[in-house]
Amino acid sequence: DVKVTQSSRYLVKRTGEKVFLECVQDMDHENMFWYRQDPGLGLRLIYFSYDVKMKEKGDIPEGYSVSREKKERFSLILESASTNQTSMYLCASTSRARSYEQYFGPGTRLTVT
């Protein structure tokens, strides 16, 4: 059974803290993605990675960075969390061979106070 896992389902952080969100997939997928989901806006792409150590900005990269040191792991970093980064964060992965299907993790609901 294919699996994308995220390190936390719920997270509460203070303004200014550095926040790490971890995503791990066990499907040997080349591509990994980070989205944020806000009511009325759907999902918006923050960053994606198509290979180890490679990354590309999505539509809303400001305030975020990413790291992909291993193929199975893709981390999203909030260097200095702000209240407007309170959101649901979803990680996804896909293979190049079966490119039409993205597998999603369960999501991390982050609250920044």
Partner 1 sequence: AQKITQTQPGMFVQEKEAVTLDCTYDTSDQSYGLFWYKQPSSGEMIFLIYQGSYDEQNATEGRYSLNFQKARKSANLVISASQLGDSAMYFCAMREGGSGGYNKLIFGAGTRLAVHP
By CB under 8 A, name the binding residues for partner 1. 9, 31, 33, 35, 40-45, 48, 50, 56, 58, 88, 90, 92, 94, 96, 99-107, 109
CB of 51 to partner 1, least distance (A): 10
Distance in angstroms (rounded) separating the CA atoms of residues 5 and 66: 17
Length of the chain: 113
Whose Cβ is closer to partner 1: residue 18's or residue 37's? 37
Distance in angstroms (rounded) separating the CA atoms of residues 105 and 23: 8
Whose Cβ is closer to partner 1: residue 9's or residue 18's? 9
Whose Cβ is closer to partner 1: residue 16's or residue 52's? 52
CB of 21 to partner 1, least distance (A): 14
Is 31 in contact with 37 (CB distance < 8 Å)? no
Closest CA to 29 of 89, 104, 90: 104
